[in-house]
A and B are shown apart, each in its own frame.
Chain A
Amino acid sequence: QKEVEQNSGPLSVPEGAIASLNCTYSDRGSQSFFWYRQYSGKSPELIMFIYSNGDKEDGRFTAQLNKASQYVSLLIRDSQPSDSATYLCAVRYGNKLVFGAGTILRVKS
């Protein structure tokens, strides 16, 4: 059973702070990892993807992968109220994605 675990939250941070979202996965052989943002009633929107150990940065977003510890993180710098959403972590197994249940992020202005 391939599992992806996330803390459901909500995670509350003040505007301008760094939001840190975490995800653990069960299959040590996993190769590809994705973060999606989902606003209420909307589709999941791809934020970041990462394939190799280390950090990947894109604007205010940084994805971190640690394969030895089997976790993936998403950091959001200078958090804005518009970042308030559910963040879904996904791991690719073969051709399909296995998702965590998502972490609700609330950025307070």
Chain B
Amino acid sequence: GAGVSQSPRYKVAKRGQDVALRCDPISGHVSLFWYQQALGQGPEFLTYFQNEAQLDKSGLPSDRFFAERPEGSVSTLKIQRTQQEDSAVYLCASSLGGPQHFGDGTRLSIL
């Protein structure tokens, strides 16, 4: 596709459930990033992939957060045993090494 595609756009889950968020980057972009954006704040870095290698996961807030990109294209961000503080917009971005281009995000609400 022409841009970064994320699904689902909205996800509501009960506290304690596991969720999986998908990102389909711009075709050919080797770099993929996940960010978390709380209401009224700027995005905060979670993790970075170059092709299938996860080179930086320093922003993941806890071991409940896990990301993968097994074939160097589509990526999945998984959150286990969700907590209310996980409620946020999760943004995916991709790049060819230059500026990052963002998807529309997944708005996650934990009840």
Return chain A residues, CB-CB under 8 Å to B59. 96
How many B residues are at the interface, by size bracket?
Answer: 20 to 34
Q: Given contacts A34-B99, A46-B99, are A102 and B42 in contact (CB under 8 A)? A: yes
A95 to B35, CA, bound (A): 13
7 contacts between A and B (CB under 8 A): A4-B42, A44-B43, A88-B43, A90-B42, A96-B45, A96-B56, A102-B41
Using CB atoms, name the residue of chain B closest to A4. B42
How far does the Cβ of A2 sit from chain B's closest Cβ, in whole Å? 10
Q: Does A98 contact B (CB under 8 A)?
A: yes
Q: Does B108 contact A (CB under 8 A)?
A: no
A97 to B99, CA, bound (A): 10
How far does the Cβ of A3 sit from chain B's closest Cβ, in whole Å? 11
Q: Does A71 contact B (CB under 8 A)?
A: no
A101 to B38, CA, bound (A): 10
| Mask: chain B, 25-50; 1 = CB below 8 Å from A; 0 = not | 00000010101000011111100101
Q: Does A99 contact B (CB under 8 A)?
A: yes
- CB within 8 Å of A: which of B96-111? 98-105
How many A residues are at the interface, by size bracket?
Answer: 20 to 34
User: By the criterion CB–CB under 8 Å, are B45 and A97 in contact?
Assistant: yes
User: By the criterion CB–CB under 8 Å, are B99 and A99 in contact?
Assistant: no
User: By the criterion CB–CB under 8 Å, are B42 and A95 in contact?
Assistant: no
Return chain B residues, CB-CB under 8 Å to A49. 98-99
How far does the Cβ of A92 sit from chain B's closest Cβ, in whole Å? 9
Q: Does A42 contact B (CB under 8 A)?
A: yes
Q: Given contacts A95-B48, A95-B55, A95-B56, are A100 and B104 in contact (CB under 8 A)? A: no
